Amino acid sequence: MNQSLHILGTPPNAWQVNAEIADITRPPLEANIITLPTETKLLRLDLAKAALLVIDMQNDFCHPDGWLASIGVDVSPARSPIAPLQNLLPLLRSHNMPILWVNWGNRPDLLNISAGIHHVYNPTGKGVGLGDPLPKNNAPVLMAGSWAAAVVDELAQKPEDICIDKYRMSGFWDTPLDSILKNLGKTTLFFAGVNIDQCVMATLQDANFLSYDCILLQDCSATTSPEYCLQATLYNIKQCFGFVTDSQILQKSMPGIMNYEL
């Protein structure tokens, strides 16, 4: 075969072409198999086909000057994933696992936001809602590019990471997330972030409906909701939508650290 072929697309979902040939074989990624204990099954999975979704670890949800704190919510639970993620992210990057930051990042004109979504953030119509200035620093609530929508400083994003703006609780609704994951050849998704019973769960459910394999990292996820919301979410993930483990178990399962045996 003529070797002067040019890549079109994003590997592994790429063609190689020239004027005469279109090679559409899409060579597979080199496998990187691990065994991972979860609360219900011992999994065998391929790290080469995995990605981490970090959802809504943003100032508006996790910072004492953000939106949740401004309406009287104790955001300390939402900050609990920060430390385990600080430990986990460098290791995942060293294994070339994509890190996708999936965050609320609304349009300045809010033209794609329905009245029902506005109501979640401003149920009386007189409070501080989407796009309104925060009391302490005037940053517009969950506006793309603003301090309010930025990931907390403690979780530094890297140039190789992928950022997705979302406009609903699910990161898949009306976003390019599914297309990006398919182009990257990812079929196994790890989930982290806040709130575990709202945006994390909605995104994980949609991922399951789209036939991704879903694994929640419990210590890298949290909620400011009541405890029964957390317990119901964990039950439903294990029962219906995927698996639950934690970052320390994942780290011990990765090559070069310590492997669990089947």
Catalytic machinery residues:
56, 166, 199
Q: Which has the closest alpha carbon to 54: 158, 130, 184, 210?
A: 158
For residue 226, give every residue at least 6 positions away whose Cβ sits within 8 Å of its Cβ, in sequence order, or none: none
Q: Which has the closest alpha carbon to 206: 181, 231, 226, 235?
A: 181
Q: Which has the closest alpha carbon to 243: 85, 98, 45?
A: 45
Beta carbons of 139 and 148 less than 8 angstroms apart: yes
Alpha helices in the chain (DSSP H): 59-62, 67-70, 76-79, 82-94, 115-121, 177-183, 201-209, 227-236, 247-253
Tokens of 120: 């979640």
Q: Distance between CA 225 and CA 165 in Å, rounded?
A: 23
Q: For residue 258, how many other CB atoms are within 10 A of its CB?
A: 9
